[in-house]
Each structure stands twice: as C-alpha cells, then as structure tokens.
Structure 1
Amino acid sequence: MGEVFAGRYELVDPIGRGGAGAVWRAWDHRRRRYVAAKVLQQSDAHTLLRFVREQALRIDHPHVLAPASWAADDDKVLFTMDLVAGGSLAHVVGDHGPLPPRFVCTLLDQLLSGLATVHAEGVVHRDVKPANLLMEVTGTGRPHLRLSDFGISMRKGEPRLTETNYVVGTPGYLAPEQLLGAEPDFTADLFAVGLVGLHLLQGRKPDSQALVEHFLTHGTPGAPEGVPEPLWQVLTGLLQPDPRARFRTATGARTALNAAVEMLPAQGPAEEPVQIVDRLGPLPPGFGPEGPGMTEGPGAPEVPTGFGPPLPGPSETGSFHLPPPAAYPPPYAPTAPAPTVPTVPPPAPVRRPGPPPKVAVPVLLLALVSLAVGFWALGRI
C-alpha cells in the first residue's frame, strides 16, 4: 500500500511532474474515490505562497480544472483535483499530428469558455499551452477539454512574487508585452490561445517570435497551409502584437470563432477521427477500481485491460481523470476471514513513558507568515 498523507490521501503512483512538485494518483479515503494530488517538494516561503494562491482558487466550470481540497502533513503540503485520464493536448498532437479544423474549433471554443469564467474572477492564467490543456477520455466522440495548472496565475492587482524584470511563463507562448515586463492582463492569455490554435492546426509548436516580427514589419500574413481562411481571421485577431488590437475578451473571441465555424467546409469522409484514449494505465498491485483492495491471488478479479500507454516520462500536466466507475467490474470481494485459533493471552506489557508525539508543522500557517514577510519585502521587488 502507498503512503497515507494527512490521514486521508493514500498516494498510489506518480503520474506527472511540474515545476513545484510531483503529481500523484491518490485514493481519497474520506470521499472514497481517486483524485490527482500535487505534492510540493519544497517548503521555502516562495513556493508556499504560490501554493496558497493556487489552492485558494475555486472556479466551478466544466472546462476548468481547479484545486478541490488541500492538506498539510509535517513539512509537506498537497492539494487535490479531479483525475483526467486522456493526457494533454500535447499528447494528442504527438499521436495524431495536425488536427482537423472543426475539431480544433471545438477545443478552442471550450478553452475560451473556461477562460471567460477565469477572467470574470479577475484571474490571469499566464501559462496557457497544450501541456496544460487536459483531455477527458472520450474516444472518437466530442472532445472535452479542461484548463489546468494555475501555479503561476494571479489576480489582477495582486503583488507579484517575482522581480519586475523577471518573465514568468513558458517560452514560445508569451505575448510580446509579457517579454517587456508588462503587468499580466487577460489579453496575454488570449494571445496564447491563438498560438495554441496554430499548434493544433499545424501539428507543431509555432515560431511566435517570427510571427510577431512578420506582423510588425509586413502586416498580417496570409493563412498558413492547412488553416482555413475564416479560422485564420479569428487567430489573427488573437495574435496581434499590440494588445490593444487583439480581442479584448474571451467571450468576444468565442463569438467570432462560432461565426467562423459556420463558414468552414464539412468534414471529409476520408478524414480520420481523433481518438482520446486513457493514458494512465492500470492501477498498481494492491489497488482496485474501488480503492485499496485485493488485486492478486485466487479469486481476485482481473484488472480491466485495454488501457493506453502510460505517460512518457515526467510531464508538465497537472492531473488526470479515471473513466466512470461503470466501465469497471464490480467492487473487489473481500477475502474470507481466517479461522480463529484460541490462544492464551500474553501478560500485559509494562507501559513506560515515552517521548511526546510528533506534532505536525502547521505549514499553511508558516505560509501566511511568509506572505507577511513577502509583503514587507515588496519594496525591493
């Protein structure tokens, strides 16, 4: 069995890795279900402040994957979220290459819908990219995207946790004004959405710097190969180097995208459907679909087969989701209890006073103290 964290979350197996720590599949003993748990590996004040910000985010939207709960245990902290088993859009592009335009429009519509709600809460994500867009397992049906990893997000007006001349985000998905040290704004997220759209349509990461230089020196370029003109008009509205010339809101971009979809050609009969498969793989020995239980030995049910390959090495993605319980066999039957053999009870041991029990360090309290120290130091940041 795995390590039980804070008396509630049993860590099962690692499924990814981010900048601040590992992401585990974990069993929530209280809610009796599997979750994704991000465990912080560092306990410095800077990391804890980011943890406090991320776990405090509560956004309920079908295309947003925000933290659901948190726990502290000694010098570690974790927070949990839903499990999403289809990997990220980076995996989908790696499997299929360029994606069909109508499929891309569905994904962008879902992303913009989620961002509209995030922005309505005053939050700038600051790290929109394919690796942070997780996919539910839908097979060849309608895809279901979820925006994840709010580790570097911030509310407008909040003090920064980094120096003013320090750029936060993923190279290649940063808006030009971010590279110049501008204050985070919603339009920077929209610029990243445009780059994500190009990535999905072309099957490779776009050269954002060359694209911006072309805009600045030659104006709006023509539609690249494989990008329909109506959809390209929407993407150029997201990719303008001047944030004042971009779409101002995710809702406005979504309206333009829906109008462009009406002008796209119908999907061709030879177009191969995109399949979103389970990428988590089977549960390790000792765990079943209903949690920790018998998975080996006579009479144990077989673990379901047909899973896709496990995630290829460390991943930037945040978390994953298992298929619905109906896809699994019935709960594992408990083993029959061993017959009771009468024995003579041994004499009671002599109790001797021992050291006092170890008291867990209230990590979040330390984080709040560190937050106060951080505000004190803002004058130098």
Structure 2
Amino acid sequence: MGEVFGGRYELVDPIGRGGAGAVWRAWDRRRRKYVAAKVLLQGDSHMLLRFVREQALRIDHPHVLAPASWAADDDKVLFTMDLVAGGSLAHVIGDYGPLPPRFTCVLLDQLLSGLAAVHAEGVVHRDVKPANILMEATGTGRPHLRLSDFGISMRKGEPRLTETDYVVGTPGYFAPEQLAGAEPDFPADLFAAGLVALYLLTGAKPDARALVERFAAHGTPDAPEGVPAPLWGVISNLLHPDPDNRFRTATGARKALAEAAQLLPEAAAGEEPVEVFDQLGPLPAGFGPQGPEIAASAPPMGFGPPPAAYGPSEPAADPGTSGFHLAPPAAATAPAQAAYALTAAQATPPAPRAARSGGIAPPPAKVTAGLLTAALLCFAVGAWALTRL
C-alpha cells in the first residue's frame, strides 16, 4: 500500500514534477476517488507563500484545472486536483506532429474559454504553455483540454513574490511587455495562447523573438506554411507585439475565432482522426479502479522525493464529472469531422457559475501544536517578506 498523507490521501505513484513540487496519483479515502496530489518539496517561507497562493485558487470551469482541497502532515503540505489522464498538448504533438486546423480551432477556443474564466477572477496565469495544458483521454472523440499549473499566477494588484526586474515564466512564451518588466496583465496570457496555437499548427515551438521582429519590420507577417489565412488573422492578433493592439479579452478572441472557423475547409476525406491516448499507465499492484485492493494499516509518513524517472508530466479525468476512468474511452459515435466543429454559438461565453465552496479538508487530528506554530511562523516570515518587496 502507498503511504498516507494527512490520514486521508494515499499516495499511489508519481506522475509528474513541477517547479515547486512533485505530482502523485493518490487515493482520496474520504471521496473514494483517485486524484492528482501536488506535494510541496521545499519548506522555505517563499515557496510556502507560492503554494498558499496556488491552493487558494478556486475556479470551477470545465477548461480549468484548479486546486480542490489541501492537507498538511509533519513538514509537508499538498493540494489535490482532478486526475486528468490524457497527458498534455506536448504529448499530442509528440504523437501526431502538426494538428489539423479545425482540431486546433477547438483546442484554442477551449483554452481561451478557460482564460476568460481565469481573467474574470482577476487572475493572470503567467505560464500558459503546452506542458501546462492537460488533455482528457477522449480517444477520437471531441478533444477536451484543461488549463493547469497556477504556481506563478497572481491576481492583478497583488504584491509580487520576486524582484520587480525578475521575469517569471517559461522562456519562449514571454510576451514582449513581460520581457520589458511590465506588471502582469491579461494580454500577456493572450500572447502565450497565440504561441500555443502556432505550436499546434506547425508542430514546432515558435520563435517569439523572431515573430516580434517580423512584426516590427513588415507589420503583420504572412501566415506560416500550413496555417489557413482566416485562422492566421486571429492568431496574428494574439501575437501582436503591442498589447494595446491585441484582442481586449479572451472572449473577444473566441468570437473572432468562431467566425474564422466557419471559413476553414472541411476535413479531407480519409484524414486520420487525432486520438488522445491515456498517458497515465496502469495502476501499481495493490490498487484497482475502486481504490486499494487490500486493506492495510497506513505506514508512517516520511516518504522521500519521488524517483527521477517520471511518467507523463500531467494527469486527466472527465471535467463534467468527478469520476476517474481507467478503462479506454469509447470510440466516438459521430464522425471525427463533427467532433472538430466550432460554431459561433459555442463561442458564446458561458453563464457565470456560482462560486464553488473551497472544499478545504479540515486539519487532520495528528497535526500537532508544534506544526501549527511552525505554519504561523512561516506565514509571519512571508508577511515580512512581502513588506520588503
């Protein structure tokens, strides 16, 4: 059996690693389902403050993968999310290379939908990239992505946790204004979304610096090979070096994308459908679809860092439900071409949802007064650090 965290989460196997922690597949004893659990690897006050910011985010949206609950045990903390099994966009490109324009339109529309929900909460993601965009294992059915990893996100107006001249994010996906040291803002996320779309269409990581230089030299450059002109009209707007010349909102970009999608040619006869595979692999011995197969007393906490060799860097589940599906997804009953359809009605922003309750797990009984004191001390140090920024 796996080791148990906080008396509730049984860590099953490591499935990824982030900048601040490792990601495990875990069995939630209370909800009786598999979840993804991000465990903080570093215990300093700076990393704890980032962790607290990320786990405090609560956005209930089908294309956002935000934390659902958290727990503490001894000197470690974790938060959990839905388990997503289809890997990331990087896995899809690794399997297929450049993706069909209509398929790309569906993915870009879903990404912009997720960003619209994030921005509506006043949050700037700051790290939109293929590895942080996870996929459900939908087989050849309609694809479904979820924007994840809010480790460096921040609300507009919040104090930074880094020096003001220190650029945070992933090199290659920075907007020009980020490199110039501007305050984090929504247009930077839209620029990164444009780079992701270009990556999907070309199968190669775009050169953001070269794109900016081409804009400066020639205005809007010609569409890259294989990118239809209507779709390039939307992507080039997202990639404009001047944030004032980009779409003002993700919702506005979605509306333009819906119009462009209607001008794209139908899928060619015999075109191979894109299949999103289950990337998690089988459960280890002792675990089945319904959880641990053999009852056993939980061993004491104190697990070491996960092995260096990780599986896929991300997880997946059905965002419409909270269930975890181990069985291969059923084949799509509608033609693959229909699964990629995008209409103006689908681009209409969804009605606002009621705020989801925090879902925060109560502190386990084993958390001692000493741990609480240490936690308070960490927050005190963090608060002091914020006054120094």
Check conservation: 1:17, 1:316, Cα contact below 8 A: no
Cα separation, 1, equivalents of 2:247 and 2:188:
10
Cα separation, 2, equivalents of 1:325 and 1:115:
25
Change in CA separation of 1:182 and 1:219 when aligned onto 2, cut-off 3 Å: same
Give how far 1:319 is off. 3.6
Cα separation, 1, equivalents of 2:375 and 2:82:
22
What is the RMSD of the two structures over their aligned residues, measured on CA atoms? Answer: 2.2
Cα separation, 1, equivalents of 2:375 and 2:108:
36
State the match for 2:384 in structure 1: 373
Give how far 1:369 is off. 1.7
1:151-170 correspondence to structure 2 within 5 Å:
151-170=151-170
State the match for 1:320 in structure 2: 316
Give how far 1:320 is off. 3.2
1:274-285 correspondence to structure 2 within 5 Å:
274-285=274-285
Check conservation: 2:138, 2:276, Cα contact below 8 A: yes
State the match for 1:102 in structure 2: 102
Q: Give secondary structure in 1 for the equivalent of 2:388.
A: helix
Cα separation, 2, equivalents of 1:159 and 1:327:
42
Superposed CA offset, 1:245-272 (max 9, x none): 1111000100000000010000111321
TM-score of the two chains, using structure 2 as the length reference: 0.83
Q: Give secondary structure in 2 for the equivalent of 1:146.
A: strand
1:179-190 correspondence to structure 2 within 5 Å:
179-190=179-190
State the match for 1:27 in structure 2: 27
Give how far 1:98 is off. 0.2
Cα separation, 1, equivalents of 2:232 and 2:387:
47
Superposed CA offset, 1:20-52 (max 9, x none): 111000000111110000000101011000011
Q: Whose Rg is larger? A: 1
Cα separation, 2, equivalents of 1:207 and 1:328:
39
Cα separation, 1, equivalents of 2:33 and 2:14:
17
State the match for 2:87 in structure 1: 87
Check conservation: 1:83, 1:319, Cα contact below 8 A: yes
Check conservation: 1:99, 1:203, Cα contact below 8 A: yes
Cα separation, 2, equivalents of 1:321 and 1:58:
18
Check conservation: 2:99, 2:202, Cα contact below 8 A: yes
Check conservation: 2:63, 2:147, Cα contact below 8 A: yes
Check conservation: 2:16, 2:24, Cα contact below 8 A: yes
Unaligned runs of 5+ in 2: 296-307, 329-366
Cα separation, 1, equivalents of 2:388 and 2:325:
53
Cα separation, 2, equivalents of 1:291 and 1:131:
28
State the match for 1:288 in structure 2: 288
Give how far 1:90 is off. 0.4
Unaligned runs of 5+ in 1: 296-311, 330-356
Cα separation, 2, equivalents of 1:6 and 1:366:
20
Work out which of the residue numbers 357, 361, 368 in structure 1 matches 2:371: 361
Give how far 1:371 is off. 2.7
Identity %: 73
Cα separation, 2, equivalents of 1:119 and 1:274:
30
Q: Give secondary structure in 2 for the equivalent of 1:361.
A: helix
1:24-173 correspondence to structure 2 within 5 Å:
24-173=24-173
Whichever residue aligns with residue 365 of structure 1, its letter is L
Superposed CA offset, 1:170-218 (max 9, x none): 0110000101110000000000010000000000101111111110112
State the match for 1:221 in structure 2: 221
Change in CA separation of 1:314 and 1:172 when aligned onto 2, cut-off 3 Å: farther
Give how far 1:376 is off. 2.5
TM-score of the two chains, using structure 1 as the length reference: 0.84
Cα separation, 2, equivalents of 1:268 and 1:129:
29
Cα separation, 2, equivalents of 1:326 and 1:230:
37
Give how far 1:372 is off. 1.4
Q: Give secondary structure in 2 for the equivalent of 1:368.
A: helix
Give how far 1:279 is off. 0.7
Give how far 1:367 is off. 3.9
Q: Do residues 254 (structure 1) and 254 (structure 2) align?
A: yes
Change in CA separation of 1:146 and 1:374 when aligned onto 2, cut-off 3 Å: same
Cα separation, 1, equivalents of 2:26 and 2:36:
6
Superposed CA offset, 1:314-365 (max 9, x none): 4784543389567659xxxxxxxxxxxxxxxxxxxxxxxxxxx975613643
Check conservation: 1:134, 1:317, Cα contact below 8 A: no
Change in CA separation of 1:314 and 1:207 when aligned onto 2, cut-off 3 Å: farther
